[in-house]
């Protein structure tokens, strides 16, 4: 039986970020190639986005392609780019219909013109939607985001456009300054690390790790993570 976090009145996170790990290992267990695993992982994305919408969670950020993923075999990278392009064509109309707003975080200088156009179209088509905001971290790296913020700040300091710097001001120079930090970060597949994901934003996030591989992560597994979160007490460095 699925967890009933919403029905029981338990607290839910406003923003959930997920490191979707294990597609390749899942495929290898099935005797298939890694791309088969990535395609299967898309089904889990659909399930989690649908469940998050049902629960009225405000933001979901999915680690879709990291800056380090470019070092994978060129065949796999090419297949991932093709898959992502096809998914935008297929999924955006449904996301629009379901009142989901699509946003992207990460660099865009290394992406093809055709992919960029589809990303920009997804953002434009869904920008007025008021339900779940789905953020796809694509060509994203936490360290690079911090470096890019520092470059902007140094430029402003040099031009005397900035007089004071604190953590709040620094955060205004991140890729998505108007999106709240994640309350909960989930990582699948039994790995216990951030892998360069939301390094600044994760300062006070609750962490949830599961051995379940991403293609097997469904609504029930998502609800388990939410139930675990609801049972925690967040202090943010304070004493209660």
pLDDT over 90, % of the chain: 92
C-alpha triplet 123, 125, 128: angle, nearest 5°: 85
Which residues is 62 bridged to in the sheet? 18, 136
- Is 199 part of any domain? yes
- Is 10 part of any domain? no
User: Per residue in 87-108, pLDDT tens?
Assistant: 999 999 999 999 999 999 999 9
Q: Is the pLDDT of residue 238 over 80?
A: no
Confidence of residue 239 (pLDDT cuts 50, 70, 90): low
- Is 235 part of any domain? no
Could you tell me the residue range of the domain that residue 113 belongs to? 15-142+181-230
User: Per residue in 113-139, pLDDT tens?
Assistant: 999 999 999 999 999 999 999 999 999
Which CATH number do you get for residue 51? 3.40.1180.10
Q: What is the number of structural domains in the chain? A: 1
- Is 122 part of any domain? yes
Catalytic residues: 21, 69
- Is 100 part of any domain? yes
- Is 150 part of any domain? no
| Mean of all residue pLDDT scores within the chain | 94
Q: Which of 179, 177, 187, 184 is nearest to 202 (CA)?
A: 184
- Is 176 part of any domain? no
C-alpha triplet 145, 172, 20: angle, nearest 5°: 40
Residue 228's SS3 state is helix
Q: Is the pTM of the predicted complex or chain greater than 0.85?
A: yes
Give me the mean pLDDT over the 45-51 stretch: 98
**What is the Cα–Cα distance from 81 to 115, expressed in whole angstroms?**
8
């Amino acid at each position: 039986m699925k967890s009933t976090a919403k029905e029981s009145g338990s607290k839910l996170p406003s923003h959930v970020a997920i490191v979707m790990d294990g597609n390749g290992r899942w495929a290898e267990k099935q005797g298939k190639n890694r791309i088969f695993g990535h395609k299967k992982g898309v089904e889990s994305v659909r399930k989690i986005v649908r469940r998050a919408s049902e629960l009225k969670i405000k933001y979901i950020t999915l680690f879709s392609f990291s800056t380090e993923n470019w070092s994978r075999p060129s065949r796999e990278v090419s297949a991932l780019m093709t898959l992502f392009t096809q998914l935008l064509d297929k999924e955006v109309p449904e996301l629009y219909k379901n009142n989901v707003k699509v946003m992207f975080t990460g660099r865009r200088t290394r992406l093809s013109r055709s992919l960029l156009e589809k990303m920009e179209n997804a953002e434009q088509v869904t920008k007025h939607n008021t339900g779940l905001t789905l953020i796809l971290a694509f060509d994203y790296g936490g360290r690079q985001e911090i470096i890019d913020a520092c470059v902007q700040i140094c430029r402003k300091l040099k031009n005397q456009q900035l007089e004071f710097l604190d953590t709040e001001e620094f955060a205004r120079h991140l890729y998505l300054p108007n999106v709240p930090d994640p309350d909960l970060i989930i990582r699948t597949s039994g790995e216990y690390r951030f892998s360069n994901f939301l390094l600044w934003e994760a300062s006070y996030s609750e962490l949830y790790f599961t051995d379940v591989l991403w293609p097997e992560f469904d609504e029930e597994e998502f609800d388990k993570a939410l139930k675990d979160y609801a049972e925690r007490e967040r202090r943010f460095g304070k004493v209660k």
